[in-house]
């Protein structure tokens, strides 16, 4: 017999805390639907008290998710907990996840509270949460640096108050597997009624140990792992869902538990999150990297050809590689287009949105011969990018470069309803284009990242560009896709400027 391991995905909350990874409500809905298709047990949809927009996104997700539990994070304050409770009200299965810091350094310098008051606040937060749902999770922030006796004390009290899941976070990514496993072993042994609750682990990757620490916790009694797609998250990120799930599945000789994850959906989910957040997956990333199942060494190639298991411990198709190979083209009709979107789990809001996406599809089909699923995902993302309030809109542009002369670019923008034009030189056509845009916008932003990824293979593939800009402490990602990489770059830069212009400030706690 095997136990059920609960997979708690926090891509939409902790993952969104990555610089520039803030998502629109529509983007969050797309990811939430895909997470449910993946088989995630709990979707932490956001932090309701952070902003009205975050609360609205959680509320919208709670309305459409049928099988997964929808969760909102809340600090141990009445305002936060009640905001979370209201946000999850429409959910068929709703959870409130409340937390307070328990380490001496946090209690003294951040909270400025005595330990007795921290316990009282935690208990009160659980009571408030129980007014909305019986599914209440409590986290002891910075548990890795907390006193063991104090953890036993606070966990004992929140169980009495009605918490049903106890989360032990390595908030700063400080622990090692042997130490983290021992911490769980001691807590479960010492906390009264420990067998009446689910023990959960939430690990950060500052020392590259997040997945290993999570698995050590599972081996010592944890039955919920908090993780994100592609390991996205604060600072160095979180435990990667795909690593934890496939380690459990591959090493069934070691683990006495299993997940309900449909592993064939791992790669499609990874690609969707990467596309929406603008965080590319490194080629040598385990499970979901482009090279994860590639073999260049002649010895390895020979071995795999003779018997796959000589060098592969998993099958590529088991995690979704090669699962979606339907190719569409310019002769594909609206019905086929709509059907393929449905198969990909993409839901567009109304006939107007379908028509707009189909028009973009036809435009792309005139530029490239074959259109793959990844292209369709990018088309839908492009439509959502366009929904950002367009203070700056690209009307026309041209760029020219040749050996022996400086590249030049000309852009025509619609700025607040008026067309403006500028020319600029640069080190390359993209640099010249950005300088031409800035000659009009005078944004005062700092370019932190310029990244180009091909959506599919081939010289006619779309290029997907991510531009990360910073201004006044705000960091935003802009995205653009086109078969012309300079045009894609201009789209991405303008998308980032429009997000800066919209001034949507986000605020997140950290676990």
Report the SS3 class of residue 151: helix
Assigned domain for 288 exists: no
Q: Are 378 and 455 in contact (CB under 8 A)?
A: yes
The answer to whether 371 touches 365, Cβ cutoff 8 Å, is: yes
Q: What is the mean pLDDT of residues 349-377?
A: 78
173 and 44 in a common domain: yes
- 170 with 263, same domain: the answer is yes
pLDDT at 95: 98
- pLDDT of residue 385 exceeding 80, the answer is no
- Strands 42-47 and 224-227, how do they pair? unpaired
Q: Are residues 39 and 163 in the same domain?
A: yes
Q: For residues 142 and 104, give the distance between their C-alpha atoms in angstroms, rounded to a whole number.
A: 9
In a domain, 353, yes or no: yes
Show which of 342, 360, 385 is a domain's final residue.
Answer: 385
**Each residue of 180-230: pLDDT tens digit?**
999 999 999 999 999 999 999 999 999 999 999 999 999 999 999 999 999
Confidence label for 312 from pLDDT (cuts 50, 70 and 90)? low
C-alpha dist (Å) from residue 119 to 77, 107, 267: 13, 11, 42
- End residue of a domain, out of 233, 257, 277: 277
Number of domains in the chain: 3
Tell me what pLDDT residue 326 has.
Answer: 53
Q: Is residue 298 part of a domain?
A: no
Helix (H, G, I), strand (E, B) or coil at 462: coil
- Euclidean distance between CA atoms 228 and 28, whole angstroms: 14
- Give the CATH number, domain containing residue 131: 3.20.20.70
Extract the runs of DSSP E, i.e. beta strands, from 171-270.
Answer: 198-203, 224-227, 257-258
- Based on the fold, state whether residues 76 and 162 are members of the same structural domain: yes
Quick check: is 264 in a domain? yes
Q: Which residues are CB-neighbours of 36 under 8 A, at least 6 positions away?
A: 43, 65, 66, 67, 68
> What torsion do the CA atoms of 429, 431, 433, 438 make, to the nearest 10 degrees?
-170
Are residues 243 and 114 located together in one domain of the fold? yes
Rounded distance, CA 80 to CA 499, Å? 26
Q: What pLDDT is attached to residue 304?
A: 44
Q: Are 350 and 399 within one domain? A: no
Q: Average pLDDT of 334-346?
A: 77
CA atoms lying within 13 Å on the CB side of residue 161: 26
Q: What tens digit of pLDDT does each residue of 421-438 get? A: 999 999 999 999 999 999
| pTM greater than 0.75 (yes/no) | yes
Average pLDDT over every residue of 255-263: 96
Nearest to 449 by CA among 488, 476, 482: 476
Asked if residue 456 has pLDDT above 80, the reply is no
CATH number of the CATH domain containing 415: 3.30.160.270
State pLDDT tens for residues 22-52.
Answer: 788 888 999 999 999 999 999 999 999 999 9
Inside any domain, residue 309: no
Least confident span in 200-214, 250-264, 300-314, 333-347: 300-314
364/475 same-domain check: no
Pairing type for strands 463-471 and 446-454 reads antiparallel
* Tally: H helices and E strands in the chain: 16, 16
Q: Which of 287, 345, 280 lies closest to 39 in space, CA to CA?
A: 345
Q: Would you place residue 301 in the very low, low, confident or very high pLDDT band (cuts 50, 70, 90)?
A: very low
**In whole angstroms, what is the distance from residue 343 CA to residue 233 CA?**
28
Q: Are residues 255 and 114 in the same domain?
A: yes
Domain boundary pick from 237, 261, 277: 277
DSSP-based three-state secondary structure for 440? helix
Give the separation between CA 451 and CA 208, rounded to whole angstroms: 24
Q: What does the pLDDT average to over 175-180?
A: 98
User: Do 99 and 154 share a structural domain?
Assistant: yes
Q: What is the pLDDT of residue 299?
A: 45
Whether 455 is covered by a domain: the verdict is: yes
The torsion defined by the Cα of 293, 268, 244 and 205, in degrees rounded to 10, comes to 90
For 260-290, the pLDDT digits (tens) are 999 999 999 998 999 888 888 988 999 999 8
pLDDT tops 70 at residue 443:
yes
Whether residue 221 sits in one domain with residue 74: yes
Cα 63 to Cα 56, 82, 88: the distances in Å are 11, 18, 9
- Between 121 and 500, the more confident residue is 121
Q: What rounded mean pLDDT belongs to the chain?
A: 89
In a domain, 322, yes or no: no
Specify whether the CB–CB gap between 255 and 238 falls below 8 A: no
Answer whether residue 298 shows pLDDT above 70.
no
Q: Provide the percentage of residues in the chain whose pLDDT is more than 90.
A: 66
Report the alpha-carbon distance of residue 173 to residue 440 in Å, rounded: 44
CA angle 31–37–42, rounded 5-degree value:
75
Q: Do 123 and 28 sit in the same domain of this protein?
A: yes
- Terminal Cα-to-Cα distance of the chain (whole angstroms): 33
CA dist., res. 183 & res. 22, Å (int): 33
CA distances from 258 to 251, 311, 333, 346 (A): 10, 24, 42, 28
Looking at 195-209, 401-415, 459-473, 481-495, which range is the least confident one? 459-473
Percent of the chain with pLDDT over 70: 90
User: 141, 174 in Cβ contact below 8 A?
Assistant: no
Residue 144 domain boundaries: 3-277
Residues 341 and 352: their CA atoms lie apart, in Å, by: 15
Task: Let me know if residue 507 belongs to a domain.
Answer: no
CA distances from 279 to 20, 231, 339, 450 (A): 9, 11, 28, 11
Are 153 and 215 members of one domain? yes
With 0-12 / 13-18 / 19 or more C-beta atoms within 10 angstroms meaning exposed / middle / buried, residue 349 is exposed
Alpha helices per DSSP H over 74-163: 78-87, 104-106, 115-130, 148-161
């Amino acid at each position: 017999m095997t136990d059920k391991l609960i997979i708690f995905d926090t891509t939409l909350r902790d993952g969104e805390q990555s610089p520039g990874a803030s998502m629109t409500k529509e983007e969050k809905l797309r990811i939430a639907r895909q997470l449910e298709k993946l088989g995630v047990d709990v979707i932490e949809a956001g932090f309701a008290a952070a902003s009205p927009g975050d609360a609205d996104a959680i509320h919208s997700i709670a309305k459409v998710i049928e099988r997964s539990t929808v969760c909102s994070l809340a600090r141990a304050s009445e305002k936060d907990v009640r905001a979370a409770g209201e946000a999850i009200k429409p959910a068929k299965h709703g959870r409130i996840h409340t937390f307070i810091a328990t380490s001496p350094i946090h209690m003294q310098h951040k909270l400025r509270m005595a330990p007795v008051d921290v316990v009282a606040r935690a208990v009160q937060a659980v009571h408030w949460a129980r007014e909305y749902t019986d599914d209440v999770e409590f986290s002891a922030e910075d548990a890795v640096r907390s006193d063991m006796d104090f953890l036993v004390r606070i966990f004992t009290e929140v169980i009495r108050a009605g918490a049903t899941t106890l989360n032990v976070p390595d908030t700063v990514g400080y622990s090692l597997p042997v130490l983290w496993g021992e911490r769980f072993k001691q807590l479960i042994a010492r906390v009264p009624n420990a067998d009446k609750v689910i023990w959960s682990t939430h690990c950060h990757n500052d020392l590259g140990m997040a997945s290993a620490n999570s698995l050590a916790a599972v081996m010592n009694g944890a039955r919920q792992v908090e993780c994100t797609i592609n390991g996205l998250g604060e600072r160095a990120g979180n435990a990667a869902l795909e690593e934890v799930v496939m380690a459990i599945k591959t090493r069934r000789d070691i683990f006495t538990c299993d997940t309900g994850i449909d592993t064939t959906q791992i790669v499609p989910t990874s690609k969707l999150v990467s596309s929406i957040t603008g965080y590319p997956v490194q080629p040598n990333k385990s499970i979901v990297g482009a090279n994860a199942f590639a073999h260049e060494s002649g010895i390895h190639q020979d071995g795999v050809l003779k018997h796959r298991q000589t060098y592969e411990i998993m099958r590529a198709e088991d995690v979704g590689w090669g699962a979606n190979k339907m190719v569409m083209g310019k002769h594909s009709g609206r019905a086929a287009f709509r059907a393929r979107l449905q198969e990909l789990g993409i839901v567009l809001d109304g006939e107007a949105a379908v028509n707009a996406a189909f028009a973009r599809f036809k435009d792309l089909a005139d530029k490239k011969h074959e259109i793959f699923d990844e292209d369709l995902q990018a088309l839908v993302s492009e439509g959502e990018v366009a929904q950002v309030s367009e203070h700056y809109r690209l009307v026309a542009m041209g760029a020219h470069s040749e050996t022996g002369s400086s590249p030049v670019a000309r852009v025509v923008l619609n700025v607040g309803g008026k067309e403006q034009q500028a020319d600029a030189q640069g080190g390359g056509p993209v640099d010249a284009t950005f300088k031409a845009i800035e000659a009009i916008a005078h944004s005062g932003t700092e370019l932190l990242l310029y990244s180009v990824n091909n959506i599919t293979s081939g010289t006619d593939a779309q290029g997907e560009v991510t531009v990360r800009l910073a201004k006044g402490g705000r960091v935003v990602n802009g995205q653009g896709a086109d078969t012309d990489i300079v045009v894609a770059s201009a789209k991405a830069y303008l998308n980032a400027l429009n997000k800066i212009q919209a001034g949507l400030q986000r605020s997140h706690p950290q676990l």
